[in-house]
Each structure stands twice: as C-alpha cells, then as structure tokens.
Structure 1
Amino acid sequence: MLLTLSTTMPDATDLGFLLHKHPDKAQAFEMSGGVATVVWPEATTQRCTVALMLEVDPVALVRSKGNRGSDGFALSQYVNDKPYAASSMLAVALGKVFRTAMTGRCNARPELPGQAVPLEVHIPALPSRGGVDLVARLFAPLGWAVTATPIPLDPQIPEWGDSTFVDLHLAGTARVADALTQLYVLMPVLDDRKHYWISSDEVEKLMRAGGEWLGEHPERELITRRYLGHHRVLVAGAVARLAEVDDVDPEALDNAVSDDPEKGPTPLAVQRKDAVTATLRAEGASTVVDLGCGEGALLHDLVADPAFTRVLGAEVSHRALEVAARRLNLDRTPDTVRARLELIQSSAVYRDDRLAGFDAVVLMEVIEHIDAARLPALERAVFGHARPGSVLVTTPNAEYNVRYEFLPAGQFRHRDHRFEWTRAQFAAWAQTTATAYGYDVRFVGVGDVDPEVGAPTQMAVFRRVSA
C-alpha cells in the first residue's frame, strides 16, 4: 500500500517539521500484521514529497489478536487485496506514524501547523465501494480538486470493465493536520470494511479526527455509518456528539441511524428543544415567537403541541425559511394546524410590529451568532418593543467546552459563533437586561450537569414584572 503527500510551500522541506520526520532519513515502524516505512522521494526547498508504504503479511494479520475473520471463501483471509490497496490498515498506519502531526502540534516551529499550504495527495490503489462518484462526494466538499481514475479489472481484457479500485489524486490548499485527519477517516469509509473489531473507542477516534469538519460535511451520515461499521448504537452516539458540538440539528442526521430498540444518548439539541417546550408550558404561554427559527426544528415540536395556539417562526434567512416550510410539510399540513403557524422574514435586531403581542419569544441558540456590539439592538427590539410576557434565551456554556476532547482549546463550537459566554458572563448580561426592561430572570442548565463546569447549554427565563 502506498500514499504520497507533496507540497510546494515556500520552503517545502518544512514538511519534515510538520510531520515530525527528517527528510534525510528512512524510518520503519512495526505494525500489527506488517511494517510501515516512511521515505522521502524528493526533498528540495521547491518541492517535497513524503511516501508512506505499508507492507502487510496476510498470515501475520490472520493470526493477530482482534482479526475480524471473513465471511467469504475458505482462503479469503489469505488471498485478498489487503496487501495492495489502501484501506483501514493504511489509515491505522497513518495514525500511528503521523500521530503528532494529526493533532496540529509542532514545538520546533509552532507557527507552521496553522498555515494552509499547497498539497498534493496520491493513492495509487484505493478501494471505493461507490465508485468515482463517491470519492468526489467525500473529498470535493473539503476543498480538494479530485481526480479519481477507475482501475480496470484487467488492462488486457477491457471488456471486463472497471474494478472497485481507483487511482486517486487530490490537490488543494489545506493545513497538513486537516489533510491527514481527512484521509484517516475517509480511506476506510470508501473501503467500507475494517480489518479490526469496531468498539466504542471508534466513536472517540471519529470525533477527534472529524471534529472540525465532519459536522458540516454533506455526506456526514454516510461517513458516520461506514466508519463505525454500521453499528447502530455507535452511530447513534456519534450523531449525538456531532449535534452537540457543531450545532447540527439531529433531525438532519436521522438517516444515519436505523430504527432499533436500542437507543443511544439523547442529543443535546433534542434536550434543548424539550427544555424550551417544557418551560413554555410552565410559563403558561400559548402564543409563541421562535425568533431565529432557522430550519424549523423547534417549530416542529411547537406546532405538534395543541397547547400552543399560535406559533410564529421568524428568520432573517429566506433560504432557511424555505427549508423550514419543506420540513414542516406546510403544503400537506391540515388547515387546522396550518392556521396556527406562520413564517415571516425578520431580524432579531430590528423592531418589528409583527413580533408584538405574543405570550413568549424564544431565542434558541441565536445570540451567539450576533456580534456583541449588536446585542443592545436585540434587547431594544425584543424586550423593549415586542415586550412579551416571557423571553427564553439559550446559548452555549463556554466553560463546558473543555469536556469536548476533540474541540481545540479556545475554539468555538460552531464556526459562525461570534462569542461563547461563561455562566457568569451570561448571568451578568441577563440580569442587566432584565433590570433595564422590567423583567426578572432565572437560569436553567440544559443537558448533563458537570459538577465542575455546569451544563453544556445555559438557558435564561425572563418573566415580565412591569407594564
């Protein structure tokens, strides 16, 4: 098995610092069932290439602890493509040989790991159970220019057609750590077979490697399913983690989990919706504005509950409203239900008479997407002008971020967040706002409460106390 990574960065030999390997040395690493070797076919200041070669001993692999065996013909454990084609075995070698590089650390040159540099990746034989199309669907959304050439079953007999293998070339500008983690995850995903037993540890591996990009990938459902070997409980756990950290609506990930009586942990996004809905009932609200409703996740729950007689979804994005309308099936919704729901385009930072006169306004995971300098405008529009009986505001608890091992220190949970507050910062803002506009406020933690850092989501419940 062979994988090469090349760069033409300003001093291309800096690739050695990034990979923690010296370009003048060939190094060998013992693996379960084989030997991984790192060599440098070229190493000049203009262009540098590192090659990772994995030589597999099929007999040693069969005898190794944890081998999954085979459901094929009797000799399939000895006669197969494992010694020749990139698979989970090459991914494991990649993770072992370049472990430090994948974390984005370089003590000798700390400025290098954060730089996006021109990169080329070549994998001469990569199994793709989905063909060339699937290769493009997985790598192109990550910014790679993809050239995947099908490998014929037999070049001498073209009528046999193509095999399931491709010759893959990738070109793009990316951080080396990102390129390595993407290859680490996507090679076994394309193969859709792992050579070792898949346990709960695989969820942690997936979160560490894909934490920065997987939640936004359009094929995240397929990636999660295949990486975790289609194990329903493990997939459910990974879906929950993705929804928790990346603000991904878990309903958008439902296709990743097959129906099964065994249930994984409840995603934080679901717990958040449930907490908001329960609090609205406790406040006695029957008319509700979901301000910043996005694609309608909370609206779905509110409309399904007859206790809410009028529901208004307001969102600044016209596209999000179109998606919400489709997801709520407004064209097929009974008139009695449809009469209770309205969608409008509006902003949380501008006065809008259509938002006035409601029992409650919900700002669920909204304020952190607004520049802090614009929050006074939101306060005036919601608490001053719309002035509902209750306002519910949820936002991430920044203190809890340390519990996400795959979230780099100092990084927000979502790329569009303008800020994330500690519990003290959120309380200070909420209490100041409540005093200024004649409300009292209480605080509720949403999600599993950690004794040291609190709950992952914090919610402020404002109740109007003056006219």
Structure 2
Amino acid sequence: MLLTISTTYQPATDLGYLLHKNPARLQSIEVAGGQAHVFYPEATAERCTAALLLDLDPVGLVRGRGGASGEGFALEQYVNDRPYVASSFLSAALSKAFGTAMNGTCKERPNLPAQALPLAVKVAVVSAPGPDWPRRLFEPLGYEVEIETTPLDPTVPEWGDSRYYTLHLRHAGLRLQDVLTHLYVLLPVLDNDKHYYIGEHEAEKLLHRGGDWLPQHPERGFITRRYLRYLAAYVNPTLERLLEGDEDLTETSPPDPLSSGRGDTGHAPGDVVGEENRPAPPLPEERGPGGEVKSLHDQRLQQVAHEIYQLAPTRVLDLGCGEGKLLRLLLRQPKIEYILGMDVSHQALARAAQRLHLDEMPPRQRTRIDLIQGSLLYRDERLAGFDVAALVEVIEHLDENRLAALEAVVFGQARPAHVFVTSPNADYNQLFEKLNAGEFRHDDHRFEWSRAEFAAWAAGVAERHGYQLRLVGMGEEVEGVGAPSQMAVFVKKDA
C-alpha cells in the first residue's frame, strides 16, 4: 500500500514539520502485521511529497489463527488482497506514523496546523464497489477526485476492469489534519473489511475523528454503517450521537445498497468469510429499564453521575469534559449549584457549548455552568474549592511520566473532597478478538493499566495526599478479567 501527500505551499518543506518526519531520512515504524516506511520522494521549497509505504507480511497476517477459518479456509487466508489494498491497516499506520499531525500539533511551528494548504493525495490502490463511491465519499468534503482504473488482466481486455482503483485527491486549501482524518475514516469505509474487532471503542473513534464533519456529510449513514460493519448495536447509537444537538439534520441517507440481503456482516450469502472478516460475538452490555442496550460509554457516565448524585455536592468539576456528556447529566441534578468543565481542546469545548445549548440556556441555569480551557499538568487556581472532581477516561491519554504532574494539580493543589477517576481495564482487552496483544483500545491512549496496576497507582495517590480509596468495576464483570473499565473513588480524610 502506498499513500503520498504533496503540497506546493511555500516553503513546501514545512510539510516535514507538520508530519513530524524529517525529509532528509527514511523512518520505519513497526505496525500490526508489518512495517510502515515514511520517506520523501521530493522535498524542495517549491514542492514537497511525503510517502507512507505499508509493507505487510502476508504470512504474518495469518500466523497464529485458529478455529474454523484456520482449518476450512487455509488457502483463502493466503490468497487475498489484504496486504495490498488500502484498508484499516493503512488507517492504523496513518495514526501511528502521523498521529501528532492528525491531532493538529506542531511544536516547531505552532501556528502551522491551522494553515489551509493546497494538497494532493494519491492512494494505490483502493478497493471500492465502483468508481462512483470514492467520489460520493470525498467530493462532499471539497476534494477534486480522479479515479484510475485497473484492468482485471491487461492481456484479456474483454474481462474489463477490476474493483481496484488508484485514487487521486486534490484540495485547493485544507488543513493537513483534516486530510489525514478524512483518509483515516474513509479508507476503511471503501474497503469494508476492518482487521480488528468492532466494538464500542471503534464507535468512539469514529465520533472522535468524524465529529466535526461527518454529521453534515450526505453519506453519513453509509459511512457509519460501513465503518462499524453493519452492527446495529453500535451503528444506531453512533448515528444518534452524531446528530445529537443538530435538530435540522435528520437521518435521510438511503439504506446502503451494498448491504441489501446481507444481514449484519456486510457479506452476501455464499461469500467466503474468513476469521478476519467474521464479526466477533458482542461483548456483554447492560440494558436499560425498557430493554434497550446501553453502551459502555453511557454506563460509565451514568455510574459516575449516580455516585455524584448520592453525595449531593454543590460544586462539581468535570476535568477533561470533552463534548460535555457528563456535564449534561450533572445539570439534571438540581442540588448542584455550580459546575465547571475543563478541557485542553478548544474544539471539544466549542462542541460542548453547542450541544449543551449554552447560548439558549435560561439566565438562572446559565449561571450554574462554565467551560474553561486548561491543562491538568499545570497549577490552576480556578480548580480550588470544589466538592467533587471527575476524570472520566482521562489519565490514559497522558504519558505515564506526566501523571505525577496531574496528581500534584488535582490532589495536591485543588484537593476536592471527592475525586472519581475511571480508566480502561487492560485485563479485559483479551476479550476483544481483533485487538492484537499490546494494542490499545483507542489510538490516542498512551497506556492501559491492568487492575493491579491501576489499584497500585490509586493506592499511592491516596496515601500521599490523605484520601481514602474505593475501587469499583464499571460494566459487567467477567470471571478472571474483571469489568471493561475501572473506577477509583477518592474521599478526603478530613472531608
């Protein structure tokens, strides 16, 4: 798989700063199933091209597989297009090689990520149901799309073209961050054959990477269904969350014509379905009082909100508040007089303000909540004087060596009477069948701790700062591995 990104922005070599990859040398990165290589075929002040070459080991992709697929479809495992077609493998490599650029960060040129650049992208090759689909996916985002067909067999022209295309995209002016995000989401949608387990973590990833542009996309239904492999338990809630707060956007996308008669797997009756393509059984999920499935994401928020409700606090902090889902639940608790949501991301705060309808909120209600931008790694006087602080799925987004700074800010300086910290339980990851050993549930996670590691960290924090500690599982417990997420409840001893 080969992807190139070119620009004529002056000086064009600024592309190297944006991608955090030096144009003067080849850089290789270990990825699942092989290696990704980043190099620059051209790097002048007038034009610069960065290339990502993904070299997958066909045998390595199969090694270690067992079960029916390994026994009954041995030849199919080796004779397929997985090592060569731009797919979720390329998305994972994009995230690993260019993750900093995808997050819009550039230390050397802090203003550069916001710059709209003329960009040209080439992907060789993509698999698509037809040449119209790349256009339907990329043209609404402002790209000029050119499709280069590939014949089934150049020596037998009467056989016609294959379903493989070289994709050319051009945009007159767009942030590199946006281009990488569009490719990250849409390449697996075209291929429709993700190489790992589809679960709530993938739905969250789609919301994170597509939240700014996917709700307005005319093919948002098609994209969501294909990205989540037609699994209704995740597709429907994800579409609802994408359109949440956008009453003028109703789900009008037609049903995916490619899924007709295919059920939840996206494969037609009689298709050969290898282990890689076979949907894993859904993980245990709680159900609401009406029998509806509640995602683990919702379970976490509801559980934290319920714990806070029982304390009847008057002032509450939501640290790393994101787009404001916990804030919304806290606003429903009338005994809370003031809520402060803080996040390092300005974009996330803007989405939170929009989804909470702060501009339309009655004056009395509006005085109950504020949103501020800030970092948990620096002392901040605004965080003092609160009864409760919540950090829901926050700590794993920091490098482990920075947790001491977070600890000093939250437990040493702010010192709320109660602190709730949740984090994924790494022991549980073995139940995600398509999550390779050592991989994390989210591409932005810096670590994921086992129950023992989380308990040791929490106990140390409690001892150092004078808190009592209670550890709680979040979600349905599975013998031997625990619950999907874990929560530490800290109670200040002099509270």
Shared topology, TM-score over 0.5?
A: yes
Distance in 1 separating the partners of 2:469 and 2:330: 23
Secondary structure, counterpart of 2:359 in structure 1: coil
Q: What is the 5 A alignment of 1:224-373?
A: 224-225=224-225, 234-238=231-235, 251-252=241-242, 265-373=293-401
1:207–1:406 Cα contact (<8 Å) kept? no
Paired residue for 1:128? 132
- Secondary structure of the 1:382 match is helix
2:450, 2:250 → 1: CA distance? Answer: 32
Contact 1:286/1:309 (<8 A) preserved: yes
Q: Could you report, residue by residue, the CA deviation over 1:172-208 in whole angstroms, capped at 9, with x for unpaired residues?
A: 9xxxxxx9x976742579xxxxxxxxxxxx9998669
Q: What is the distance in 1 between the residues matched to 2:77 and 2:126? A: 14
Q: Please give the residue correspondences for 1:18-57 in structure 2 after superposition, counting only pairs within 5 Å.
A: 18-19=57-58
Q: Which of 1 and 2 has greater Rg?
A: 1
Letter in 2 for 1:421: W
The AA in structure 2 aligned to 1:251 is R
- Counterparts of 1:282 and 1:380, CA distance in 2: 27
- Give the distance between the partners of 1:394 and 1:186, measured in 2 at CA: 35
Give the AA of the match of 2:397.
H
**Paired amino acid for 1:237:** Y
Say if 1:407 and 1:149 are closer, same or farther in 2 by CA, change over 3 A.
same
Alignment correspondent of 1:448: 476
- Give the match for residue 66 of structure 1: none
Q: How many angstroms apart in 1 are the aligned matches of 2:439 and 2:127?
A: 32
- TM-score, normalization by structure 1: 0.58
Contact 2:341-2:372 within 8 A present in 1 as well: yes
Structure 2 equivalent of residue 223 of structure 1: 223
In 1, Cα distance between the equivalents of 2:97 and 2:370? 46
Q: 1:399 Cα shift?
A: 0.9
Secondary structure, counterpart of 1:301 in structure 2: helix
CA distance in 2, matches of 1:122, 1:321: 36
Aligned equivalents of 1:451 and 1:356: distance in 2?
A: 40
Mapped to 2, the partners of 1:98 and 1:167 lie a distance apart of 10
CA distance in 2, matches of 1:349, 1:334: 34
Equivalent of 1:169 in 147, 163, 166:
166
Cα offsets for 1:16-51 (capped at 9, x unmatched): 984569xxxxxxxxxxxxxxxx9xxxxxxxxxxxxx
CA distance in 2, matches of 1:449, 1:280: 22
Larger mean CA deviation between 326-335 and 345-354 belongs to 345-354
Helix, strand or coil: the match of 2:441?
coil
Partner of 1:331: helix, strand, or coil? Answer: helix
Deviation at 1:426, TM superposition (A): 0.8
Quote the sequence identity (%).
Answer: 40
Residues 43-95 of structure 1: CA distance to partner in whole angstroms, max 9, x if unpaired? Answer: xxxxxxxxxxxxxxxxxxxxxxxxxxxxxxxxxxxxxxxxxxxxxxxxxx999
CA distance in 1, matches of 2:130, 2:475: 41
Q: Is the 8 A contact 2:59 2:78 kept in 1?
A: no
Q: Which runs of 5+ in 1 are unaligned?
A: 22-37, 39-92, 106-113, 151-165, 173-178, 190-201, 244-248
Three-state SS of the structure 1 residue aligned to 2:360 is coil
Secondary structure (helix, strand or coil) at the match of 1:126 reads coil
How far apart in 2 are the matches of 1:443 and 1:278? 16
TM-score by length of 2: 0.55
The answer to whether the Cα contact below 8 Å between 1:294 and 1:320 also exists between their aligned partners in 2 is: yes
For 2:462, which of 428, 434, 438 is the aligned residue?
Answer: 434
User: 1: distance between equivalents of 2:482 and 2:142?
Assistant: 37
Q: Could you say which residue in structure 1 is the equivalent of 2:110? A: none
Aligned to 1:386: 414
Distance in 1 separating the partners of 2:326 and 2:78: 40
Q: Helix, strand or coil: the match of 2:444?
A: coil
Q: How far did residue 216 of structure 1 move? A: 5.2
Q: Work out the CA distance in 2 between the residues paired with 1:332 and 1:291.
A: 24
With over 3 angstroms needed to count, the CA separation of the structure-2 counterparts of 1:281 and 1:121, relative to structure 1, is: same
Given that 2:84 and 2:125 are in contact with CA atoms closer than 8 Å, whether structure 1 keeps it comes out as: no
1:362–1:128 distance in 2 versus 1, CA, 3 Å = same
CA distance in 1, matches of 2:139, 2:166: 11
Could you say if the C-alpha distance between residues 434 and 20 of structure 1 is closer, same or farther in structure 2, counting changes exceeding 3 Å?
A: closer
For residue 67 of structure 2, what is the aligned residue in structure 1? none
CA contact (8 A) 1:368 1:418 kept: yes
